């Protein structure tokens, strides 16, 4: 049994029985994991781990709050004085942001750099499917794509 195509294309009851057994084993193992996890939650080590996770979350929240304060205060001071901070570990970097009117930029780019524009394949395919019976898109053809669906309930093979 392999997922590669071979010269033999016949599915047997034995194959379905195997799949049903694998699914049953998977369900049993998932149930066992839940049981073990519930038992683990009752141990002192797990409870200590939960306390440590809570403490870590609280410290990370304070670190985030302090970091945001330092950023905001430094940025405010820089915007008012144009003086960069002198404390080690804190710098102000200047980036250039592009500001433009989108429709004007798009018009310019369509004329000067049409290679920037890419076909929205998902949107095109959705449109082509929607109008196929009314006004088909000339460059589109449809071909069949058979796919196999296996029932989730194979208990009749167990």
pTM of the model: 0.57
* Among candidate residues 11, 9, 4, 1, the one with its CA nearest the CA of residue 154: 11
Q: Note whether residue 31 is domain-resident.
A: no
pLDDT band at 82 (very low <50, low <70, confident <90, very high): very high
Give residue 54's pLDDT: 98
Q: Note whether residue 107 is domain-resident.
A: yes
Q: Note whether residue 102 is domain-resident.
A: yes
pLDDT band at 9 (very low <50, low <70, confident <90, very high): confident
Q: Note whether residue 86 is domain-resident.
A: no
Give per-residue pLDDT as tens, 45-73: 999 999 999 999 999 999 999 999 999 99
Q: Note whether residue 126 is domain-resident.
A: yes
What is the tally of structural domains in the chain? 1
The parent domain of residue 127 ranges over 96-140
pLDDT band at 86 (very low <50, low <70, confident <90, very high): confident
């Amino acid at each position: 049994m392999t997922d590669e195509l071979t010269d033999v294309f016949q599915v047997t009851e034995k194959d379905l029985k195997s799949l049903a057994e694998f699914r049953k084993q998977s369900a049993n193992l998932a149930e066992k994991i839940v049981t073990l996890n519930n038992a683990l939650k009752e141990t002192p080590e797990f409870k200590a781990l939960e306390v440590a996770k809570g403490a870590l979350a609280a410290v990370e929240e304070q670190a985030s709050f302090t970091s945001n304060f330092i950023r905001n205060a430094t940025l405010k001071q820089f915007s008012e004085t144009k003086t960069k901070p002198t404390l080690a570990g804190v710098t102000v970097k200047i980036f250039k942001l592009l500001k433009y009117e989108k429709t004007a930029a798009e018009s310019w780019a369509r004329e000067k750099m049409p290679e920037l524009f890419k076909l929205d394949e998902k949107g095109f395919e959705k449109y082509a499917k929607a109008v196929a019976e009314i006004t088909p898109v000339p460059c589109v053809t449809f071909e069949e794509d058979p796919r196999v669906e296996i029932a989730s309930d194979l208990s009749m093979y167990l």
